[in-house]
Amino acid sequence: MKIDEGVRLSRFTTLGTGGPARAFARPETVEELQSALRFAREQGMPAAALGLGSNLLVADDGFEGLALKLGGELAQVDVQGEVLAAGGGAPNAVALHRARAAGLGGFEFACAIPGTAGGGVWMNAGAYGGDWSGILERALVVDADGAEWRAADELGLSYRHSDLEQGQVVASVEFRLSPRPPSEIKAIVAELQAQRKAAQPTNKRTYGSVFKNPDHELSAGRMLEACGLKGHRIGGAQISPRHANFIENADDARSADAIALMAEARRRAWEQFGVELQHEVQFLGPVELPPIAR
């Protein structure tokens, strides 16, 4: 397996920002993935899987570690009875297509999540009332010491969270689904996609939802809209005029522009509502939000 140096990560993120990775590899088997993670540990480097680059903000200075793009058997999808088996790097769109073809329902909500099966485990991804914890049977977690299957209740899944740590990568996922006519699955997906297209900037470069929804009567998006932030711009990044919980790459944005917008959004939400918004997007490299002035 080839390990490259200085690969710019902006080409692998949906926002299109971010500097180079110190090391970059494309493992295609569990053995190659474990080998890559051992290499990173021996070099004293952190390691992280990129998925499809959504829900990810990479520092402009890059990532002083090993960035992994899973391929080969680590991105394949198979159906075994009522179990949908997906590699950690398998796009959710591919997994959903295979589920529909096999007449298996329960994964329809994932049509609104432009990521991978493994990335979904990492953050217990969810949308439209469903999430990974509701359908996940087990996941194969790999680190430098080996590979271990973990049941859903061993992963610490909660709202947009798992107990997985840096240096651990999900190589394979098994979902327990239920029989459903393909025509019904298609209709459900079409309705959800129409809702998403009407409410979100699906034709813009974003990294998905910026903040987790707080324990409040208003969602993060509604709260930031009430703060007058729709369309607010810093540098080449702007808060979406369509949905205030999305940041768009409007014109050659940098990650620093997105961070500045996030900091301003958190400041206004705190001042107007007394709510400290928590970011949903994952950071890679030296990226940090400044504390809120209280």
Task: Enter the tokens of residue 161.
Answer: 């969270």
Report the candidate in 206, 219, 217 with the shortest Cα–Cα distance to residue 261. Answer: 206
User: 20-25 and 7-8 as β-strands: parallel, antiparallel, unpaired?
Assistant: antiparallel
Residue 65 belongs to what H/E stretch?
strand 63-68
Task: Enter the tokens of residue 56.
Answer: 């990810």
How far, rounded to the nearest angstrom, does the alpha carbon of residue 291 sit from its chain's CA centroid?
24
User: 233-234 and 178-179 as β-strands: parallel, antiparallel, unpaired?
Assistant: unpaired
Answer yes or no: are the C-beta atoms of 209 and 201 closer than 8 Å. Answer: no
Residue found by looking up tokens 């520092």 in the block: 59
Out of 160, 180, 242, 268, pick the active-site residue.
Answer: 160
Active site residue 160: yes
Answer yes or no: are the C-beta atoms of 116 and 52 closer than 8 Å. Answer: yes
Q: Phi-psi bin for 210: left (phi > 0), alpha (psi -120 to 50), beta? A: alpha
Rounded CA-CA distance 18/61 in Å is: 7
Active site residue 180: no
Beta bridge partners of 20: 8
Helices (H), 116-181: 117-123
Out of 108, 174, 248, 280, pick the active-site residue.
Answer: 280
Report the candidate in 49, 234, 32, 220 with the shortest Cα–Cα distance to residue 144. Answer: 32
B/e letters for 79-104, b = 16+ CB within 10 Å, e = fewer, are: beeeebbbbbbbbbebbbebbbebbb
Out of 10, 162, 209, 255, pick the active-site residue.
Answer: 209
Active site residues: 160, 209, 280
